[in-house]
Amino acid sequence: MKVDYLIIGSGLTGAVIARLLADAGREVMVVDRRNHVGGNVHDHAHISGIRIHTYGPHYFRTSSERIWDFVNRFDTFYKYEAALLSDIDSELVQWPIAGSYIRRTIGVDWKPEFTGNPRNLEEAALSLMPRRIYEKFVKEYNEKQWGVSANQLNADLCTRFDIRYDDEPRLKPLAKYQGIPSSGYANLMLNMLDKIPVLVNFDYLKNKNLISAKKAIIFTGPIDEFFDYDLGKLKYRGQKREHIYLPDSAGFQQPTGQVNNPTHAGGPHIRTLEWKHMMPVEIALKISGTVLTKEIPFTPDDSGDYEYPFPDATNTKLYDRYRTRADSLEKVYICGRLGEYRYYDMDQAIARAALLSGNLLACADLLQ
Ligand SMILES: Cc1cc2nc3c(=O)[nH]c(=O)nc-3n(C[C@H](O)[C@H](O)[C@H](O)COP(=O)(O)OP(=O)(O)OC[C@H]3O[C@@H](n4cnc5c(N)ncnc54)[C@H](O)[C@@H]3O)c2cc1C
């Protein structure tokens, strides 16, 4: 079979490109090796009626009017602004760290232990906060998350959080629009792909001979797998998810949807999710029972379990070598979180996909 544009992967990157090309009147087809569309933002309903984000909690947020308008074409959103807690010495306290917590436990008279250009996460964190705070909130959390000691991790991981000297509890207070699709992410993705031919349970790399493209192939799977790992395997971290259903639980088990468990002593999981919190409150209150999910980081071998690209120089260099090869291919575009070996928030993934589809359309016009 031959189509104009063949899109491998029905996650946000593939689906947005498919939608925008189809809207422009182009012939597209999407294939995905999973048994559902939507990639990692997929969600499903538990028997209790509680909606679970299959591959980990997804909080949608953006400050872009255009991205917000775009996603609202496919569903309405209810407001949800994530606010997280961390279990510290058996007390649930705010994450990101509140200035008042530092003042209460350390005082006001402290100076950063590290100054200068940090070479790793530990040095970067010690330039921002007292050692005792770093050890309680950051060090072991990251050691569990990445499976190596904090002084082996890139300093720029520290840019993913801040200290809230004003005690602002929301995870992303600056994002203008925040929410969760009213009928769920799975439905939003189905709507995005409406009237576009989609084949699920189809692994493109194992079936290349069955399908090809006249104009372009857009591959949103792992870049190293595309090249059959011939330069070596990129390292990822994934999370095993242990679900606990408490059918008789009245109300909620924890005060927020996400409670972090940042110490080794607290067990191997890094966080516990209570999904009911992420539903509209009027629906959540009508559901009896609750579902808790513990997330335990591990290093996956199976590319279907890849979640977070590993933040170190060795893997960045290996990716760069694959990227050079990818960029030299004709009519093949390798993109998305797995194709670019980068963590992208959903709005960033949408923006990049829109950019690529714009380039594809402009390119096709030029060559006509
Ligand atoms: C644990 C976790 C939590 C997150 N939470 C948030 C959040 O709260 N807020 C936020 O904004 N972002 C969040 N994200 C980021 C979000 O998941 C990504 O932005 C989004 O998934 C990127 O979409 P994608 O299409 O690039 O990749 P994916 O969604 O991974 O899609 C790639 C698709 O390609 C398919 N595929 C791969 N190889 C093949 C092949 N050979 N043949 C056929 N199909 C193939 C896969 O099956 C998959 O469906 C989170 C990410 C993770 C890992």
Q: Does residue 153 form part of some domain?
A: yes
d(CA 240, CA 166): 35
Q: In terms of pLDDT, which residue wins out, 250 or 140? A: 140
In a shared domain, residues 214 and 98:
no
The 10s digit of each residue's pLDDT in 176-193 is: 999 999 999 999 999 999
DSSP-derived secondary structure for 58-109: --EEES-HHHHHHHHTT--EEE---BEEEEETTEEEEESPBHHHHHHHT-S-
In a shared domain, residues 90 and 154:
yes
Averaged pLDDT, 82-96: 96
Is 160 a catalytic site residue? yes
In a shared domain, residues 89 and 72:
no
Is 295 a catalytic site residue? yes
Number of domains in the chain: 2
In a shared domain, residues 35 and 138:
no
In a shared domain, residues 93 and 72:
no
pLDDT at residue 214 above 90?
A: yes
Q: Does residue 116 form part of some domain?
A: yes
Which of these three, 127, 160, 193, is where a domain ends? 160
In a shared domain, residues 326 and 225:
yes
Q: Does residue 256 form part of some domain?
A: no
Q: Does residue 165 form part of some domain?
A: no
The 10s digit of each residue's pLDDT in 235-250 is: 999 999 999 999 999 8
Which of these three, 101, 128, 160, is where a domain ends? 160
pLDDT at 191: 98
The 10s digit of each residue's pLDDT in 142-166 is: 999 999 999 999 999 998 888 999 9
Domain extent, residue 343, equals 2-76+182-230+309-367
Is 345 a catalytic site residue? yes
What one-letter code names the amino acid at 274? Answer: E
Question: How far is the centre of ligand 1, averaged over its atoms, from the C-alpha of 366 (Å)?
Answer: 31
Question: How far is the centre of ligand 1, averaged over its atoms, from the C-alpha of 41 (Å)?
Answer: 6
pLDDT at 368: 60
CATH classification of the domain holding 333: 3.40.50.720
pTM: 0.96
In a shared domain, residues 18 and 124:
no
Q: Does residue 29 form part of some domain?
A: yes
Catalytic residue among 160, 162, 167, 327: 160
User: Average pLDDT over the chain, rounded to whole?
Assistant: 96
| Residue 225: count of CB within 10 angstroms of its CB | 17
Question: How confident is residue 318, by pLDDT bands cut at 50, 70 and 90?
Answer: very high
pLDDT at residue 356 above 90?
A: yes
Measuring from atom 52 of ligand 1, which residue has the nearest CA?
307
pLDDT at residue 273 above 70?
A: yes
Averaged pLDDT, 290-318: 96
pLDDT at residue 233 above 70?
A: yes
Q: Does residue 342 form part of some domain?
A: yes
Q: Does residue 201 form part of some domain?
A: yes
Q: Which residues line ligand 1 (CB under 6 A)?
A: 8-14, 31-34, 39-41, 55-60, 203-205, 220-221, 307-308, 336-338, 344-346, 349
The 10s digit of each residue's pLDDT in 6-33 is: 999 999 999 999 999 999 999 999 999 9
Query: In Å, how far are 33, 126, 267, 355 from 209, measured between CA atoms?
Result: 16, 54, 47, 29
pLDDT at 363: 81
Question: How far is the centre of ligand 1, averaged over its atoms, from the C-alpha of 256 (Å)?
Answer: 25
User: Cα angle at 101 between 100 and 105, to 5 degrees?
Assistant: 120
In a shared domain, residues 147 and 51:
no
In a shared domain, residues 121 and 10:
no
Question: How far is the centre of ligand 1, averaged over its atoms, from the C-alpha of 57 (Å)?
Answer: 12
In a shared domain, residues 50 and 16:
yes
- Which ligand 1 atom sits nearest the alpha carbon of residue 226? 41
Catalytic residue among 19, 34, 237, 337: 237
Q: Does residue 145 form part of some domain?
A: yes
The 10s digit of each residue's pLDDT in 33-81 is: 999 999 999 999 999 999 999 999 999 999 999 999 999 999 999 999 9
pLDDT at 127: 95
Is 352 a catalytic site residue? no
In a shared domain, residues 96 and 209:
no
pLDDT at 1: 87
